[in-house]
């Protein structure tokens, strides 16, 4: 493997973060700065950043890579909370919520499996 960009979990999380970013720009103005939209953008991008940062440390420390994967798992689960808020506040519809929730569950499972493979 050449780099973190080749990891399927990174590609999936990155695609989702772009989708969340674009979607969040449609939220009300009061949610943009330090609100729900900003929090979602940071959490979704944090998954990708933690995969990349951990991967960069892999050649030196497997435990460090695994630690960053744990942070990414936490951010994937965090996204499910923010998506629920979006649904309940009427910012997204039920179908969008279900699709994104399922995708973030998939990302979390992929991260758990990757984490286990480096024990």
| Boundaries of every domain in the chain | 4-117
Query: CB of 77 within 8 A of CB of 108?
Result: yes
d(CA 52, CA 38): 21
- What is the token pair recorded at 117? 């493979």
Tell me the per-residue pLDDT of 91-118, one tens digit each, with 9 for 90 and over: 999 999 999 999 999 999 999 999 999 8
CATH 1.20.1440.60 fits 4-117, yes or no: yes
* Res 6 pLDDT > 70: yes
d(CA 111, CA 8): 10
* Res 1 pLDDT > 70: no
> Helices 94-117 & 8-24, crossing angle to 10 degrees?
150
């Amino acid at each position: 493997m050449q780099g973190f960009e080749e990891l399927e979990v990174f590609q999936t999380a990155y695609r989702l973060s772009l989708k969340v970013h674009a979607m969040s720009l449609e939220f009300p103005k009061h949610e943009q700065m330090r609100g729900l939209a900003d929090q979602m953008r940071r959490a979704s991008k944090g998954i990708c950043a933690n995969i990349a940062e951990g991967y960069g440390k892999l050649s030196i420390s497997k435990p460090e890579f695994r630690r960053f994967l744990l942070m990414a798992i936490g951010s994937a689960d965090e996204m499910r909370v923010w998506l629920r808020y979006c649904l309940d506040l009427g910012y997204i519809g039920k179908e969008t919520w279900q699709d994104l929730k399922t995708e973030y569950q998939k990302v979390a499972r992929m991260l758990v499996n990757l984490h286990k493979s480096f024990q």
